[in-house]
Structure 1
Amino acid sequence: MIDPKVLRDDPDRVRAAQAKRGLSDEVVDRALAADTARREAIATFESKRGEQKQLGKQIPQAQGDEKAALLARTKDLAAEVKAAEAAQTEADETWRAALMEIPNLAADESPAGGEDDYVVLETVGTPPVFDFEPRDHVELGRMLGAIDLERGAKVSGSRFYFLTGVGAQLEFALINMAMDQARNAGFTQMVVPSLVKPRAMEGTGFLGQAADDVYRIEGQDLYLVGTSEVPLAAYHSDEILDSAQLPLRYAAFSPCFRKEAGSHGKDTRGIFRVHWFDKVEMFVYTTVEESYAEHQRLLAWEKEFLDKLELCYRVIDVAAGDLGLSAQRKFDCEAWIASQGRYRELTSASNCTDFQTRRLDTRRRDENGDIAPVATLNGTLCSTNRPIIALLETHQQEDGSVRVPEALRPYLGGLEVLKPVTA
């Protein structure tokens, strides 16, 4: 959640941040009113409790009618204290609920507007030019015996698939190359749970505006994660970290599950937008002050990975209205997809500052022994389905074979070309 002090001291800044995202500032006024009501409820409860304590001291010294009156007042006051405590609890819950609705304050550098208002920061490489009619990844996947969409739909429904033969080998190769790069960059490798409790989902901001895209396990109060960002953000919940150990960098592998609730009719062909995929995610705990430089480092690691795959891509600064609830700023790397004739998202890197850690109660102890905020950042190193698409379509050859980028060859047993198994 945002810092309550910012809301109280500079509500206009929060209103401006809402406007930049294209959101109403009604929740700001509601949160301020709830904060005032909460403070009043606390004062009333403390006043009643103070009176109760004073009466408790007076009764042993009182006699006769005075004592009887004090005892009668004590009985009435006990009910008033109980009611005041209940009112305080309700006011606190109302205030917290309103505060939890407010997204992270978008960075000054983030463009205002929605999905189409991004700013292109950099373009790397040039889109491939073919002297033959290029195929899309669905046709290439069929020819290579790599992707089976028909049986995926038969077994699990739409937006599911099987990776077979060289397709499965490609996934493992991409994961292993991503994990090796992360380890060499100083990340601790992890395999994380794909099922988490509600607090982990809420703490990372995935039960607000993104709730419709989340799978819930009925009867168990568990959720399937759409990214390993969720278990990694909750990994140090309710802990006080040692500032001397920061940054803590983790790279996690996990399957990811998304309903794609808002994508009806979009990207229905192939494996671009699916309900399940595997991913290697980078996640960092650091100081708020250092988070901005760390954000650039995450982006650099993502670019390094895409360079190894010899892809043409661009980097965009995502507009405020297209940020998730937790992100203060986000960079996307979009690769050229030949069959679509446009750039599509492969990776993203977000700075969430101290938004998630406030919700999950993760803090740090600084060099002076004081408690201070912690920032979190996340970045996709490799979500396997989309790099497979970009690889196949970018490096395809006229006969349906696909050249393997040099950096990936050691992870495929030295294989230089993927050859068709069917015409």
Structure 2
Amino acid sequence: MIDIKLVRDEPDRVRASQLARGEDPGIVDAILAADERRRSSLGEFESLRAEQKSVSKDVGALMGRFQKAKKAGDPDAAELEAAAHHARTKAAHLSERVKGLEAMAAEAETELTALLRKVGNVIIDGVPVGGEDDYVVLETVGTPRDFAAEGFEPRDHLELGELLGAIDMERGAKVGGARFYYLTGVGALLELALLNMAMAQATAAGFTAMITPTLARPEVMVGAGFMDAHAEEVYRLEADDLYLTGTSEVALAGYHADEIIDLSTGPKRYAGWSACYRREAGSHGKDTRGIIRVHQFHKVEMFSYCRPEDAEAEHQRLLDWEREMLAKIEVPYRIIDTAAGDLGGPAARKFDCEAWVPTQGRYRELTSTSNCTTYQARRLNTRERDPNGSGTRTVATLNGTLGTTRWLVAILENHQQPDGSVRVPEALRPFLGLDVLKPL
């Protein structure tokens, strides 16, 4: 959730971010109006509540004086009783007005929160404007193989997977339906090797290894920003009011919810290994062959908590760790700066790393890293002690992928040989125990 102070202080910056995302900038004015109603109601509420407390004290004092006067037969007792009655009537009237203003303030607060939740994170300067096709290529690494020059037509990853006894889509569909699969034999071992290599790299870099829950409560899903524009992508267990997560980012974002964490020695970094689930709503007809777009997969995800002023530098570190992993699997890839309209709500900037897929003749996303600044942590109430000594402040969160099931697509296709065997990248061999994957 964006900071209401940012909307008040820099409304034009928020409007510009909305325009860059292709969203309605008019929501900024609606937020400011709701904020004004909330502040006005709260101000009047506080003023009347103070008056109510004062009148209530007067009632007590007058009643005490009346009781004494009545006991002593004082002729002023009747006048004191009338004054106490008047004060009680005024206090009751003020109480009703205070309750009404409190309800108005609460209603305005609810409206304001709902409006703020509709606004994506304010983008960082330099993020490309536009939609899915308006990205900017920042770097291209490696050169795609010329299979024609090598004298053979490349097989796609599914054909290779079937030859190797590594992928079984038919039985996956029999058990789970479309977009489910089995990784079998060397396929299962290859995924485990890849993810173990990712976890080994992460822990060597100082990340704390985590195996995370894959079910999350609604408030954690909302806090992480996964129930806004893309709620239709999420599987829900209605009977339990729980959600299957599409990334361990959700669980890692919720790990320090409602906590004050210590960042005095640097970022807190976690590497989460989990199964991930996505409905792939709206993807009918897209990537129906193979394991590029599936409902269930495994992933190792980096997640970092850091100070807001360090977030952009931390983002570059996460990208460098992704580069390191991509170098280990020896595939051509490029890095793109994702356009504002293609960012998820929590991200202020996102870099995608896309590997070359020979049989498709194009680059496909393997990994991404997002700087969510204080957007998630504000929703989840994750703070640190302000280094300046003035209370607490919201921290920044970032995430980045080190390996997923989809990486098998790039490995199989880019390292295939004419006989259908696949050369194992050198860095992966110690984790797999094989140099070459051979057809059955």
TM-score (norm 2): 0.94
Q: Tell me, in whole angstroms, the C-alpha distance in 2 between the residues paired with 1:136 and 1:170.
A: 17
Q: Which residue number corresponds to residue 84 of structure 1? A: 101
Q: Tell me, in whole angstroms, the C-alpha distance in 2 between the residues paired with 1:82 and 1:75.
A: 11
* Pairing 1:57–2:57 present: yes
Q: Check 1:192–1:48 CA distance in 2 against 1; reply closer, same or farther (3 A cut).
A: same
Q: Which runs of structure 2 are paired with 1:160-171 in the superposition (5 Å)?
A: 160-171=180-191
Deviations 1:333-371 (A, max 9, x none): 000001111000000000011111111111111344332
Deviations 1:215-238 (A, max 9, x none): 111021111111101110111111
Secondary structure at 2:163 match in 1: helix
- Does the aligned pair in 2 maintain the 1:119–1:317 contact within 8 Å? yes
Q: Which amino acid aligns with 2:401?
A: T
Aligned residues: 419
Q: Which amino acid aligns with 1:402?
A: V
Deviations 1:289-323 (A, max 9, x none): 11111111111110110111000000000001000
Q: Tell me, in whole angstroms, the C-alpha distance in 2 between the residues paired with 1:222 and 1:61.
A: 55
Q: Among residues 393, 411, 419, which one is paired with 1:391 in the alignment?
A: 411
Q: Among residues 404, 409, 419, which one is paired with 2:429 in the alignment?
A: 409
Q: Tell me, in whole angstroms, the C-alpha distance in 1 between the residues paired with 2:112 and 2:302.
A: 33
Task: Using the TM superposition, give the Cα deviation of residue 26 of structure 1 relative to its aligned residue in structure 2, in angstroms.
Answer: 2.3
Q: Among residues 375, 378, 403, which one is paired with 1:382 in the alignment?
A: 403
Q: Which runs of structure 2 are paired with 1:136-151 in the superposition (5 Å)?
A: 136-151=156-171
Q: Tell me, in whole angstroms, the C-alpha distance in 1 between the residues paired with 2:138 and 2:424.
A: 28
Q: Which amino acid aligns with 1:86?
A: A
Q: Which amino acid aligns with 2:338?
A: V
Q: Which amino acid aligns with 2:393?
A: A
Q: Among residues 380, 384, 393, which one is paired with 1:372 in the alignment?
A: 393
Q: Which amino acid aligns with 1:100?
A: R
Q: Which amino acid aligns with 1:46?
A: E
Q: Among residues 110, 120, 125, which one is paired with 1:93 in the alignment?
A: 110
- Does the aligned pair in 1 maintain the 2:381–2:394 contact within 8 Å? no
Q: Tell me, in whole angstroms, the C-alpha distance in 2 between the residues paired with 1:128 and 1:183.
A: 33
- Does the aligned pair in 1 maintain the 2:56–2:88 contact within 8 Å? no
Q: Tell me, in whole angstroms, the C-alpha distance in 2 between the residues paired with 1:184 and 1:174.
A: 15
Deviations 1:155-206 (A, max 9, x none): 0000000000000000110011000000111111000000011111111111
Q: Which amino acid aligns with 1:45?
A: F
- Does the aligned pair in 2 maintain the 1:334–1:346 contact within 8 Å? yes
Q: Which runs of structure 2 are paired with 1:211-360 in the superposition (5 Å)?
A: 211-360=231-380
Q: Which amino acid aligns with 1:258?
A: R
Q: Tell me, in whole angstroms, the C-alpha distance in 2 between the residues paired with 1:367 and 1:22.
A: 37
Q: Which amino acid aligns with 1:416?
A: D
Q: Tell me, in whole angstroms, the C-alpha distance in 2 between the residues paired with 1:108 and 1:119.
A: 14
Q: Which amino acid aligns with 1:102?
A: V
Task: Using the TM superposition, give the Cα deviation of residue 262 of structure 1 relative to its aligned residue in structure 2, in angstroms.
Answer: 2.2
Q: Tell me, in whole angstroms, the C-alpha distance in 1 between the residues paired with 2:156 and 2:217.
A: 39
Q: Which amino acid aligns with 2:312?
A: Y
Q: Among residues 86, 90, 93, which one is paired with 1:73 in the alignment?
A: 90
Q: Which residue number corresponds to residue 116 of structure 1? A: 133
Q: Which residue number corresponds to residue 26 of structure 1? A: 26
Q: Which amino acid aligns with 1:127?
A: P
Task: Using the TM superposition, give the Cα deviation of residue 239 of structure 1 relative to its aligned residue in structure 2, in angstroms.
Answer: 0.8
Q: Which amino acid aligns with 1:75?
A: A
Task: Using the TM superposition, give the Cα deviation of residue 210 of structure 1 relative to its aligned residue in structure 2, in angstroms.
Answer: 1.1
Q: Tell me, in whole angstroms, the C-alpha distance in 2 between the residues paired with 1:76 and 1:120.
A: 66
**The structure with more radius of gyration:** 2
Structure 2 stretches of 5 or more lacking a match?
A: 63-79
Task: Using the TM superposition, give the Cα deviation of residue 95 of structure 1 relative to its aligned residue in structure 2, in angstroms.
Answer: 0.8
Identity value in percent = 60
Q: Which residue number corresponds to residue 196 of structure 1? A: 216
Structure 1 stretches of 5 or more lacking a match?
A: none
Task: Using the TM superposition, give the Cα deviation of residue 60 of structure 1 relative to its aligned residue in structure 2, in angstroms.
Answer: 3.0
* Pairing 1:41–2:41 present: yes
Task: Using the TM superposition, give the Cα deviation of residue 18 of structure 1 relative to its aligned residue in structure 2, in angstroms.
Answer: 0.3
TM-score (norm 1): 0.97
Q: Tell me, in whole angstroms, the C-alpha distance in 1 between the residues paired with 2:267 and 2:249.
A: 16
Secondary structure at 1:92 match in 2: helix
- Does the aligned pair in 2 maintain the 1:242–1:366 contact within 8 Å? no
Q: Tell me, in whole angstroms, the C-alpha distance in 2 between the residues paired with 1:70 and 1:387.
A: 76
- Does the aligned pair in 1 maintain the 2:331–2:356 contact within 8 Å? yes
Q: Tell me, in whole angstroms, the C-alpha distance in 2 between the residues paired with 1:236 and 1:50.
A: 37
Secondary structure at 1:264 match in 2: coil
Task: Using the TM superposition, give the Cα deviation of residue 149 of structure 1 relative to its aligned residue in structure 2, in angstroms.
Answer: 0.2
Q: Check 1:61–1:366 CA distance in 2 against 1; reply closer, same or farther (3 A cut).
A: closer
Q: Tell me, in whole angstroms, the C-alpha distance in 1 between the residues paired with 2:235 and 2:347.
A: 22
Secondary structure at 1:20 match in 2: helix
Q: Which amino acid aligns with 2:420?
A: G
Cα root mean square deviation, aligned:
1.0
Secondary structure at 2:289 match in 1: coil
